[in-house]
C-alpha cells in the first residue's frame, strides 16, 4: 500500500502543481487586484457564508461513501442512483437555510443575488466530490487525479478570456462567480458520465426510496456533524470580520482574504493526502493490515515541506504580499502600505498554522477511516467554540490580525489533541528518534530563515536559499531520505 500511495500521490501532486499555482497566482490574484480589496472582500465574505450550511448539501455522505465503497466495491451500483436523488433533495434544504440565514443577518439584495449563484456552485462542488468519492473508493486514483484539476483548468481558460480577451469592458466580481458555475457544470457532466459507466448503470435510472434515504442519512450523520463543526471553525472568520467591523468589515475581510488565499492554496496540496489516504486506510483497516509505516511515511512527506513553507512565508511575508498585490485605483499610498503591513502579519500567522492543518489532514483521516467519529466531533466542537470565542475577543481590537491569531491557536490545539488520540487508540510505538528530528528541524529552519534575511541579496534569492538550505538539512538529518522514497516507490 505504501507503494500505491507514493506513486498516486506523485501523480496527484504533479497535476495539481501544474494547474493550481497558475490558477492562484495568475487568475485569482489578478481578479483580486482588478476588482479591489473591498469588492473582493464583499465576495469573500458571502462565499464563506455559503459554506456555513454546506453540511446540508453533503450531510457527511461523501466521506461515508468514500470509506464504504473502499470496503464494499459491490455497493456502488446499488447506492449511486439513490444517493443522487438524495443530494438533489438536500440541495433544496440547503438553499432554504442559506437564504433564510442571509435574510436573518440582513444581507442586501446584491449580496443575496451573488449568494444564490454561490449556493448553486456549492451544490456542484458537493456533487463533484461525491462522484469523486466513488472513484477513490474504487481506488481509481489516476482518473480521480485528472478530475481533481478539471474544474480549475476550465476556470483558467474562461477567466483568462474574460480578463485579457477584451470580451468585457470592465471585469466584475459577478463574472468570476458565473465562470465558476460554468466550469463546475461541465465538470459534473464529465465526472457523472465516467462514474455511471463504472457502475454499469444509466444516468437517468434514478430511484426514490425513503427507507434508503433514512438509512444513508443515519449512517452518515456523524460525518455530517463533523463537517458542520469543521466548516464553522474554518470559515467563520471572514464572516465575523465583515459583520463585526461595520463599514470597514468588507475591507478587513478583503485583507484577510488576500492572506488566507495562499493558506487555502497550501491546504489544497495537504488535502490531496487525505483524498488518497482515506480509502487506503479504510481498506487496510478492514483487512487488518498494519498502518504504522504508512502513517510515518505520509506524515513525514507532508510535515517536512509544511514546516519549510510555513517558516519561509513567515520570514518573507511582507515581500510576498507586496509581490502579489498592487495598489488599487483611488487607493492612497498610505492606505496601501497599511493594507500590506496588516495583510503581511495576517499571512505570516496563517501560514504557520499550515503545520497544524497538515498534521490534522493525516491524523483526522485515520480517525475517520477507523470510525472514531464521536471523538472527532468532540474535538471539532472544541475547536469551533475556541475559534468563535477568540474571534469575539480579538477582532474588535486587532481586526484581521485578531482572526489570524484565533486560527493559529485553534488549529494547533486541535492538531495536538488528534495526535494524542491516535497514539492512544492505535497504541503506536513511541518513535523518539522521529520526534527528535522534528524538534531539531523546526528551530534549524527558523535559524536558516533568519540568517537568510540578513544576506545582501535580493529577497527572492534569499528565499530560495532558505528553502534549499532547509531541504538539504532535512536530508542531512535523514528526516527525508530520497533513497528510502525510491525503494518504497520501486519495491513497496
Q: Average pLDDT by consecutive 10-residue portion of the chain (492 residues)?
A: 70 78 78 78 81 79 78 73 84 92 85 91 92 83 85 90 82 88 94 84 64 78 78 75 79 81 81 82 83 87 93 92 79 81 90 93 90 88 90 88 91 93 86 89 94 91 94 89 65 51
In a domain, 326, yes or no: yes
What radius of gyration, in Å, describes the C-alpha atoms of the chain?
Answer: 22
Dist CA 481 CA 296 (whole Å): 13
Alpha helix segments (H runs only) across 325-455? 333-369, 373-426, 432-453
Which pLDDT score is estimated for 191?
92
Which pLDDT score is estimated for 456?
86
DSSP, collapsed to helix, strand or coil, labels residue 419 as helix
Q: Which residues contact 440 (CB under 8 A, 6 or more apart)?
A: 477
Q: 460: which 3 cell numbers?
A: 527572492
Alpha helix segments (H runs only) across 165-248? 173-199, 210-244
Residue 204 main-chain phi, psi, to 5 deg: -85, -5
Which pLDDT score is estimated for 485?
67
Which pLDDT score is estimated for 305?
92
In a domain, 94, yes or no: yes
In a domain, 82, yes or no: yes
Q: Are 15 and 152 within 8 A, CB to CB? A: no
Query: Global pTM?
Result: 0.75
Report angle CA 366, 367, 371 to the nearest 5 degrees.
Answer: 115
Q: How many Cβ atoms sit within 10 Å of the Cβ of residue 18?
A: 11
Q: 401: which 3 cell numbers?
A: 490580525
- From residue 160, give the alpha-carbon distance in Å to each of 129, 156, 163, 168: 25, 6, 5, 12
Q: Are 100 and 29 within 8 A, CB to CB? A: no
Dist CA 223 CA 219 (whole Å): 8
Burial of 256 (0-12, 13-18, 19+ CB in 10 A): buried
Which pLDDT score is estimated for 43?
83
Dist CA 450 CA 346 (whole Å): 19
Q: Are 85 and 207 within 8 A, CB to CB? A: yes
Dist CA 449 CA 350 (whole Å): 17
In a domain, 478, yes or no: no
Q: How many distinct structural domains can be found in the chain?
A: 1
In a domain, 142, yes or no: yes
Alpha helix segments (H runs only) across 287-328? 292-315, 317-324
Which pLDDT score is estimated for 124?
94
In a domain, 474, yes or no: no
Q: Residue 120 is part of which domain span?
A: 2-429
In a domain, 282, yes or no: yes
In a domain, 108, yes or no: yes
- Dihedral through CA 306, CA 308, CA 309, CA 311, nearest 10? 110
Which pLDDT score is estimated for 32?
79
Amino acid at each position: 500500500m505504501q507503494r500505491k500511495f507514493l506513486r498516486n500521490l506523485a501523480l496527484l501532486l504533479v497535476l495539481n502543481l501544474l494547474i493550481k499555482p497558475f490558477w492562484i497566482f495568475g487568475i485569482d490574484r489578478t481578479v483580486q487586484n482588478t476588482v479591489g480589496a473591498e469588492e473582493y472582500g464583499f465576495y469573500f465574505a458571502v462565499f464563506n457564508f455559503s459554506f456555513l450550511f454546506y453540511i446540508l448539501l453533503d450531510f457527511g455522505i461523501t466521506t461515508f461513501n468514500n470509506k464504504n465503497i473502499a470496503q464494499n466495491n459491490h455497493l456502488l451500483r446499488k447506492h449511486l442512483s439513490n444517493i443522487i436523488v438524495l443530494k438533489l433533495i438536500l440541495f433544496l434544504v440547503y438553499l432554504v437555510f442559506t437564504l433564510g440565514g442571509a435574510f436573518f443577518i440582513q444581507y442586501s439584495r446584491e449580496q443575496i443575488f451573488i449568494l444564490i449563484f454561490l449556493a448553486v456552485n456549492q451544490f456542484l462542488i458537493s456533487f463533484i466530490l461525491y462522484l469523486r468519492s466513488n472513484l477513490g473508493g474504487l481506488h481509481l486514483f489516476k482518473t480521480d487525479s485528472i478530475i481533481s484539476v478539471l474544474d480549475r483548468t476550465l476556470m483558467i481558460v474562461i477567466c483568462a478570456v474574460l480578463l485579457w480577451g477584451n470580451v468585457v469592458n470592465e471585469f466584475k466580481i459577478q463574472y468570476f462567480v458565473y465562470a465558476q458555475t460554468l466550469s463546475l457544470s461541465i465538470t459534473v457532466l464529465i465526472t457523472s458520465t465516467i462514474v455511471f459507466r463504472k457502475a454499469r448503470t444509466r444516468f437517468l435510472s434514478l430511484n426514490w426510496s425513503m427507507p434508503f434515504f433514512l438509512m444513508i442519512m443515519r449512517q452518515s450523520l456523524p460525518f455530517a456533524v463533523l463537517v458542520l463543526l469543521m466548516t464553522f471553525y474554518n470559515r467563520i472568520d471572514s464572516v465575523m470580520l465583515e459583520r463585526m467591523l461595520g463599514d470597514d468589515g468588507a475591507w478587513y475581510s478583503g485583507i484577510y482574504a488576500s492572506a488566507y488565499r495562499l493558506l487555502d492554496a497550501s491546504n489544497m496540496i495537504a488535502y490531496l493526502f487525505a483524498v488518497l489516504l482515506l480509502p487506503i486506510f479504510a481498506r487496510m483497516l478492514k483487512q487488518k493490515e498494519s498502518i504504522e509505516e504508512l502513517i510515518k511515511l505520509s506524515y513525514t512527506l507532508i510535515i517536512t515541506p509544511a514546516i519549510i513553507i510555513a517558516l519561509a512565508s513567515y520570514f518573507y511575508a511582507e515581500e510576498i504580499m507586496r509581490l502579489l498585490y498592487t495598489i488599487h485605483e483611488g487607493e492612497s499610498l498610505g492606505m496601501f502600505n497599511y493594507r500590506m503591513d496588516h495583510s503581511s502579519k495576517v499571512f505570516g500567522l496563517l501560514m504557520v498554522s499550515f503545520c497544524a492543518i497538515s498534521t490534522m489532514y493525516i491524523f483526522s483521516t485515520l480517525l475517520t477511516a477507523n470510525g472514531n467519529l464521536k471523538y472527532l466531533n468532540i474535538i471539532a466542537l472544541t475547536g469551533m467554540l475556541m475559534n468563535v470565542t477568540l474571534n469575539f475577543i480579538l477582532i474588535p481590537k486587532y481586526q484581521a490580525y485578531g482572526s489570524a491569531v484565533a486560527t493559529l491557536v485553534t488549529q494547533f490545539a486541535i492538531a495536538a489533541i488528534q495526535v494524542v488520540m491516535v497514539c492512544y487508540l492505535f497504541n503506536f510505538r513511541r518513535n523518539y528518534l522521529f520526534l527528535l528530528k522534528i524538534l531539531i528541524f523546526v528551530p534549524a529552519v527558523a535559524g536558516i530563515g533568519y540568517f537568510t534575511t540578513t544576506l545582501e541579496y535580493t529577497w527572492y534569492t534569499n528565499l530560495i536559499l532558505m528553502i534549499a538550505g532547509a531541504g538539504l538539512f532535512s536530508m542531512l538529518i535523514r528526516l527525508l531520505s530520497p533513497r528510502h522514497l525510491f525503494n518504497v516507490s520501486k519495491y513497496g
